Amino acid sequence: MSSSTSPTVLLNTGVQMPILGLGTYKLVGPENVYQAVDAALAAGYRSFDSAAVYRNEADLGRALKELLPKHGLTREDVFITSKLGPKHQGQGSMEAALHSLSQLDLGYIDLYLIHWPGTQGLQVSDQRNPGNRAKSWASLEELHAQGKLKAIGVSNYKLTHMKELMQSCKIPPALLQVEFHPQLCQTELRSVCKEYGVCFQAYSSLGRGELLSHPVVLEVAKNCDRTPAQVLLRWAVQQGVPVLPKSSNPDRIQRNTELFDFSLSDADMDKLSALDCGLRYCWDPSDVA
Ligand SMILES: NC(=O)c1ccc[n+]([C@@H]2O[C@H](COP(=O)([O-])OP(=O)(O)OC[C@H]3O[C@@H](n4cnc5c(N)ncnc54)[C@H](OP(=O)(O)O)[C@@H]3O)[C@@H](O)[C@H]2O)c1
């Protein structure tokens, strides 16, 4: 994909979002962020996924302001996602979203997500969780109406959270970001998103690195002469699911873009999907009321 841009998916806001974005969890420190963003822009990434809890919004914003002109790009050429931390769910949501906007300092945020259905400091079963989620969503709707958040969405919502939101929202979510890879196929959640017109986006496509050495992934990679990471990412994008691989290594950042010049056979897709066993490498929202 070098020097070109990733294919896009159409969000229900009418905006195109790149299918490939750079994940930035654990990408911290101004130097590291700068180097990764530089390598990513050179490799053709036009989308970056941050969050208040990653503590890199300010460094990401600063790096982009410096690097966009170097790569002949402007603010409008990139798609920036950030997220409301669970600590600020509910009452503090408006202030926290404004803080994200000021940390990134890029004028607006392309996509802002409620990071987690629960509230930090409350038990997962606490019945105040739904009310806090609703308050957060109302803050996001207000900032969307003001043009500060171009699209709004949610992350780690399970089926019941999605249904609750669809019934109560004024503006429907543009996107749901969840863990998705061959061991966690999220079939029901995906089909509900399709029904609602909500874009379903994958995180931890590489199982945080753990899936890269799975024997079936290695076998498919060998068959098609690709890296295990390319196989896992291709498995998602071939199903129309946007991905956010994280890497801080310029070579891996580049190689993770090489997804659009090959396809996996139906047999290989099935072999990978057969690994589905509900396994998570990240946090599990199943019990959040
Ligand atoms: N909404 C949420 O709750 C949530 C949760 C988790 C993640 N996310 C988002 O999704 C992004 C991706 O998920 P993730 O960070 O959990 O994990 P991931 O992308 O599945 O895996 C990242 C790990 O794989 C390694 N890696 C990347 N490309 C590689 C390659 N080609 N060969 C070998 N190793 C490779 C990286 O190491 P190096 O850096 O050393 O290359 C890193 O250790 C996050 O960064 C974040 O933006 C969102």
Site to substitute for ligand 1 among 53, 114, 161, 206, most atoms within 8 A of C-beta: 206
Distances (CA, A) of 201 to 213, 251, 264: 23, 24, 20
54 flagged as catalytic: yes
Whether 130 and 137 have beta carbons less than 8 Å apart is answered as no
Residue 65 lies in a domain: yes
Residue 209 Cα to ligand 1 middle (Å): 7
- Ligand 1 pocket by Cβ (under 6 Å): 23-25, 49, 115, 155-156, 177, 203-209, 212, 227, 229, 244-249, 252, 255-256, 282
- Cβ(277)–Cβ(118) under 8 Å? no
Is residue 261 one of the residues assigned to a domain? Answer: yes
Stretch 180-193: mean pLDDT: 98
Picking from 129, 167, 169, the residue whose alpha carbon sits closest to that of residue 153 is 169
Span from the CA of 244 to the centroid of ligand 1 (angstroms): 7
Q: What is the pLDDT of residues 128-176, one digit of tens each?
A: 999 999 999 999 999 999 999 999 999 999 999 999 999 999 999 999 9
- Calculate the CA dihedral of residues 61, 62, 63, 66 and round it to 10 degrees: 120
Find out whether 49 and 17 touch, Cβ atoms under 8 Å. no
Asked if residue 280 is part of any domain, the answer here is no
Is pLDDT of 6 > 90? Answer: no
Cβ count within 10 A of residue 92: 18
CATH assignment of the domain containing 211: 3.20.20.100
Contacts of 209 (CB under 8 A, 6+ apart): none
Q: Based on the structure, what is the number of domains in the chain?
A: 1
Domain of 127 in residue numbering reads as: 8-273
Q: Does 61 reside within a domain? A: yes
Dihedral sign of CA atoms 177, 178, 184, 185 in order: negative
Is 1 inside any structural domain?
no
pLDDT of residue 4: 52
Is the pLDDT at 31 greater than 90, yes or no? yes
Cα 6 to ligand 1 centre (Å):
18
Taking the C-alpha atoms of residue 143 and residue 131, their distance in angstroms, rounded to an integer, is: 19
Residue 282 lies in a domain: no
Among 64, 48, 47, 60, smallest CA distance to 7 is for 47
Q: For residue 216, tell me if it sits in a domain.
A: yes
Decide if 3 is inside a domain. no
Structure tokens at 209: 């690195």
pLDDT tens-digit series, residues 89-137: 999 999 999 999 999 999 999 999 999 999 999 999 999 999 999 999 9
The DSSP letter of residue 246 is B
- Which residues lie below 8 Å from residue 235, measured CB to CB, with a gap of 6+? 181, 182, 264, 269, 272, 273
Q: 223-258, pLDDT tens digit by residue?
A: 999 999 999 999 999 999 999 999 999 999 999 999
What is the spatial distance between Cα 182 and Cα 234, in angstroms, rounded to a whole number? 11
CA of 27 to the centre of ligand 1 (A): 10
Q: Which of 25, 34, 45, 54 is catalytic?
A: 54
Q: What is the mean pLDDT of residues 204-210?
A: 98
Average pLDDT taken over every residue of the chain = 97
